[in-house]
Amino acid sequence: METNYRVNRKHLGYNVKRLREILGVKQEDLAERLYLTQQSVSKLENKEDLDNEILERIANAMNIPSAAIKNFSDEGAVHIISNTFSDNVSVNDYAGSINNSSINNPIERIVQLYDEKVELYERMLQSEKEKVTLLEELVKSKLISGNEGS
């Protein structure tokens, strides 16, 4: 079954912004990929129309087809996301399929960021445990050296 989405607005700059946000790309990152400043990307996102050359460059920088920018609609994105996940499939099923390559699904990106946050927390906790151990050893050595002096 083919679904057609009505494009409510032909504002290519808005479409670039929404797709960039959905993909989790910051303006600074997109600017770097395009060899532009962040302010230039902001100006592009405010333009209603973009020429084909810049549209292609933006699409390549975000690893999406330029047609995705031209035909983007919020309603279509919501429909795709709502139909991507069913009640029979849990987010954990998707989490197992995440790797470090490019992630296009925003839900997978959120899960990946959560996993990275947990790993960072565990590394920080281990670091704190090591600090406590070192401090305990230092205190013991000071107590021993203090007792030997009396």
The residue ranges of every structural domain in the chain are 7-84, 88-150
What's residue 100's pLDDT? 40
**Topology annotation, domain 7-84:** 434 Repressor (Amino-terminal Domain) (1.10.260)
Residue ranges in the chain modelled with pLDDT below 50: 1, 5-8, 87-101
pLDDT, residue 89, reads 46
Report pLDDT for 99.
40
pLDDT of residue 38: 93
Cα separation, 78 vs 103, in Å, equals 18
